[in-house]
Amino acid sequence: MTLDTILEEIKKANKIVILTHDGPDGDAIGSSIAFKLALESLGKNPDVIIPEYSKNFIFLPEIENIKTTSNIEKYDLAIALDCADSKILKGYEEYFENASKKIVIDHHGSNTMFGDINFINPVAPACCQILIGMFEYFEIELTKEIGECIMTGIITDTGGFSHNTTYETFEFAAEIMRLGVNISEIFRKGLHVKNKASFELQKRAMNRIEFLENGKIAFTYITEKDLEEANAMQGDHEGIVEIGRNVENVEVSIFIHATKNNCYKVSLRSQDYVDVSNIAIMLGGGGHQKAAAATVKGTIEQIKEKVITEVKKQL
Ligand SMILES: [Mn+2]
């Protein structure tokens, strides 16, 4: 069984690195730290390498031990969490590619199976939810700290239990609550509290939101200049795409934001019947039925037209 093989590889490895996607969200950071803590209980000392992340998650345990780089060139084992594709390991894919063994653990249906061992559960609403079952199988004790990380991933990826949630999600939440984890506090810090940069970006995006196709499409964007002026970090745009979706009658919310290297990231959310993962795949990205994204080159105007044309076909 895949899980047995994963445990075997972990036990064999001395130098382990844990990696996640560019612009890491609560699930990416939460699952990475949870995995680090779990491996520590097995006597391992893995590195978590995340170059840049939003200050919104500084409340997580052990976040200060995340590295931004490493002088180890070749790890025995690299584990990519919450990554559908090796392309989104941007800037640190060499740690993954150079490792002797590569494991991918993810919950995106569009996963390209880029590891030697791939453990993908597209039904799980968060990578963190996959980890709970995995740790139980490995007989790793779920501590309060691990529980905090996992709950952060689940709460952020489900938008506070509002989408993709399964009955198991609530069972796990109950289990984690019994460990003494304060779920209300994670809800507040992980989902509601915004840093100033985040708030500024949200304000700008809301000011320029447009409703098209009889209000079925919501569109907004953030430029590079906005990011600079707001002093934003990676991930500070989190949640903006949800604003459009939460407006009455909107079926698809489109949010474009500038990233490094003159690219734009297109985030898509749907309310009901549109499968936005198809649109994202067409743009070279991927994701889930109701939440997907792609990185695209061009100007905001060009990308806007391209995306809206695709969305219209599905309305
Ligand atoms: Mn995720």
Q: Which residues of the chain does CATH 3.90.1640.10 include?
A: 2-192
Distance 73 CA to ligand 1 centre (A): 27
**Helices and strands of the chain, counted as H and E runs:** 12, 11
Q: How far is CA 250 from the centre of its chain?
A: 24
Closest CA to 101 of 31, 202, 6, 187: 6
pLDDT at position 209, please?
98
Q: What is the DSSP string of 68-100?
A: S--S----SEEEEES-SSGGGSTT-HHHHHHSS
Give the tokens for residue 41. Answer: 């209980």
Distance 156 CA to ligand 1 centre (A): 9
Classify domain 196-314 by CATH architecture.
Roll (3.10)
Provide the β-strand partners of residue 78: 17, 102
- Residue partners of 147: CB distance under 8 A and separation at least 6: 176, 179, 181
Q: Which residues of the chain does CATH 3.10.310.30 include?
A: 196-314
Which three-class secondary structure state does DSSP give residue 144? helix
Distance 20 CA to ligand 1 centre (A): 10
Contact 269, 241 (CB under 8 A): yes
pLDDT at position 63, please?
95
Distance 126 CA to ligand 1 centre (A): 5
- Residue partners of 76: CB distance under 8 A and separation at least 6: 12, 13, 14, 15, 16, 99, 100, 101
CATH 3.40.462.10 for the 2-192 domain, yes or no: no
pLDDT at position 249, please?
97
Distance 82 CA to ligand 1 centre (A): 5
Alpha carbon distance 237, 82 (integer Å) = 18
Q: What is the DSSP string of 203-268?
A: HHHHHT-EEETTTTEEEEEE-HHHHHHHT--TTTTTTHHHHHHTSTT--EEEEEEE-STTEEEEEE
The widest CA-to-CA distance across the chain, in whole angstroms, is 58
Alpha carbon distance 80, 284 (integer Å) = 20
pLDDT at position 233, please?
84
pLDDT at position 234, please?
77
Task: Answer positive or negative: Cα dihedral of 202, 173, 9, 84.
Answer: negative
Query: At residue 287, what is the residue type?
Result: G
Closest CA to 137 of 105, 161, 163: 105
Alpha carbon distance 37, 251 (integer Å) = 40
State the burial class of residue 98 (Cβ atoms within 10 Å of its Cβ: 0-12, 13-18, 19+).
Answer: middle
Task: Answer positive or negative: Cα dihedral of 52, 129, 289, 253.
Answer: negative
Query: What's the pTM value of the predicted model, to 2 decimals?
Result: 0.83
Alpha carbon distance 92, 13 (integer Å) = 20
DSSP class of residue 180? T
| Length of the chain counted residue by residue | 315
Distance 224 CA to ligand 1 centre (A): 25
Distance 127 CA to ligand 1 centre (A): 5
Distance 150 CA to ligand 1 centre (A): 11
pLDDT mean values, one per 10 residues, the chain (315 residues): 96 97 92 98 96 86 93 95 89 92 95 96 96 97 97 94 90 96 95 91 98 98 96 87 95 94 91 95 90 94 96 95
